[in-house]
Amino acid sequence: MRASPAKACARLFAAALGSAFPGAAWAHAFGERFDLPAPLGYFVAGAAATVGLSFVVAALFMRGASRVGQSAGLVVRLGPLLPVMKSASRLLAVVLLGMVLIAGLVGSRNPETNLAPILVWIIWWVGLSFVAACIGNIWPALDPWRALFETADDLARRLGRANGISLGWHYPRALGVWPAVLLLLLFVWIEVIYPRSALPRQLASMILAWSSLTLLGMICFGGKTWRRHADVFSLYFSTLGRFAPLAAGPDRTSIVLRPPAVGLIAATTNTFAMVGFVIAMLSTVLFDGLLGTQGMILARQWVAASVPGLVDPHGFVLGTGGLVGVWVLFFGAYLLACWFTARLVQNRSAGAVARLFALTLVPIAIAYNIAHYFSYLVVHGQLLIPLLSDPLGRGWDLLGTARYYPDIGLIDARFTWYLAATSIVAGHIISVWLAHRIALREFGAPGAAVLASVPLTILMVVYTAVSLAIMAEPLVQFAPAGS
Amino acid sequence: MCPAASGDTLWPAQNHKDVPPLTVRFFSYLGVCIALIRAIAIPCLLAPALAFAAASEPKRFDLTIANAAVPPQQRVMRVHKDDVVQLRVTSDAPGEVHLHGYRQEVKVVPGRAAELTFKAHATGRYRIEWHPTGDKAQKSNHHGPALATLEVRPR
């Protein structure tokens, strides 16, 4: 009998997929449907477009598309409507927080029929990220903790306390946004590694813990300082919101309409910790994608065979190592590219270059998000529909939708692949474009700017190729069973 | 190094009046990007789509459960969208086989084959799980190992 290498490989995969590892869980809590890996054609097409279009952008800048003027955007006045909407959405946010806690603590124990996990992990964490990135950052108006703090703060001021309820402690400058970086890594660890993240009781306890922490933080350091440095969610959504076409206006009654992504090239000084934060936004989504691949299962098997001590039933050691490892790897690659750029332009340090270009990676992070989570949001997000009729699991049927079950065929695999490849390539191109714009602003002449952004462009091509590869992990033919 | 000085460039930057606004350029580049992907990806996609005729015969698979597991060659079932799938399940212990997502389930008792027939109307990967009688605990949101996986590919 002659066994081809492909068949042998297939058997290995099949064995790995089977029962070799009790902890070989798929990423994400809701195990109903998983995306198929895209065929190789998407990878080839996406990679080719990535490399080709990078040259097109560079060539356009070489030809002197050099008008770097900041477009201010269009100010849209909404009059008193906007403050009213803001107050209403704050009230809604506090009510929702209350409902999530009640549902989590006393509702159904099944994550798929409980409001808390669906609202938190799918609608809020995934859905709101898309809204913040593609429409505008509405989190400030929907942040229940901010609403609670500011209401109490206002009340205290009216009662005669000049500083409100804030203690006005001095926030250690040296910490920067590092607390938010750590919290983002921790949060994603809970999302993809911690096996009980979607269980209603555990989730409610975690929300209570975060509520205490963030309210205490705002009381100690003041609302604004806390939100800008340690409140991972405020920082996460506001960073995504810089890409969005809608932004807060100059006063309370207006919003600004602007071309997408221009908010990322505004001349702000990023701290080095902010670089770490943006890299974490990128690396964590990529890591989540990596977890579901068969390559990861093989890697796990290999580690188990060579260093058995590293394997625990939940995959905590490997999962944590992988999560931090991917972040460190991405960070290192970015710093290396910045070091090369610093060598090319000579008058800047690598650290300064890293801070300068940090936000240009945001479109890539958004693209990873869309590629990775869109079908998840569309299919699993439908779990909210029955819950709208029965939010607390009391057997109600307020809207007549209590018996709805998600339509798993709502979007086709082919549509998902097409959307994923397109968004990854488009995100890449926007990032390359932003890097060129910033280089042109900072380094002057088009030629010098294009040269300076070469290392970053190469890095972005690598990031993009990696994410395409994860999306389109090569299909291996399993031995057909039956028929 | 910089050819922009000559007048025959795509958009002569020296004359700011001739440069289309940033937004217009931005979206035209996006358009180019999407068009290129289409041009490359679509031929890759059409080939497999043409290779399949309409499904007629049901796709039959066996699941021979012993010690809560099936033989390795039964662990992945590949079908295409809209195929009719027929599972024939036998087991050495009583329990239920669940196909997640499709919400199909079938009870099995030792010594008698159970059948499950359905149309694979939605693409994706779905877990087929074994729930032995009397095992109801749901201790974490990560499921245990799947008995097998159903892969439904687009046509």
Tokens for A329? 């790897």
Q: How confident is the model at residue A318 (pLDDT cuts 50, 70, 90)?
A: confident
The arithmetic mean of pLDDT across residues A113-129, rounded, is 95
Q: What are the pLDDT digits (tens) for B14-65? A: 444 455 666 666 677 677 767 776 666 665 555 555 545 444 689 999 999 9
Residue A27 has pLDDT above 80, yes or no: no
Alpha-carbon A8 to chain mean position: 37
* pLDDT value of position B46: 56
Instruction: Tell me the three state secondary structure of residue B102.
Output: coil
Q: Is A213 helix (H, G, I), strand (E, B) or coil?
A: helix
pLDDT higher than threshold 80 for residue A289: yes
Q: Contact at 8 Å (CB) between B61 and A482?
A: yes
CA distance A316 to B45: 39
Question: Which of A36, A46, A67 is the closest to B151 by Cβ?
Answer: A36
Contact B48 A446 (CB under 8 A): no
Q: Rounded to an integer, what distance in angstroms lies between the CA atom of residue B83 and that of residue A477?
A: 19
CA dist A417 and A180 (Å) reads 32
What sections of A346-405 are H helices per DSSP?
350-357, 362-380, 384-389
- What pLDDT is recorded for position B43? 56
Given a cut of 90, whether residue A96 has pLDDT beyond it is: yes
Which candidate from B4, B30, B37 shows the least CB-CB separation from A46? B37
Cα nearest neighbour of B40 on chain A: A45
Give the closest residue to A166 by CA, choosing from A111, A225, A245, A221.
Answer: A221
ipTM of the complex: 0.75
Say if the Cβ atoms of B123 and A412 lie within 8 Å. yes
| Structure confidence by residue, pLDDT tens digits, A102-118 | 999 999 888 888 999 99
Flag the least confident range among A412-421, A468-477, B86-95: A468-477
Are the Cβ atoms of B2 and A421 closer than 8 angstroms?
no
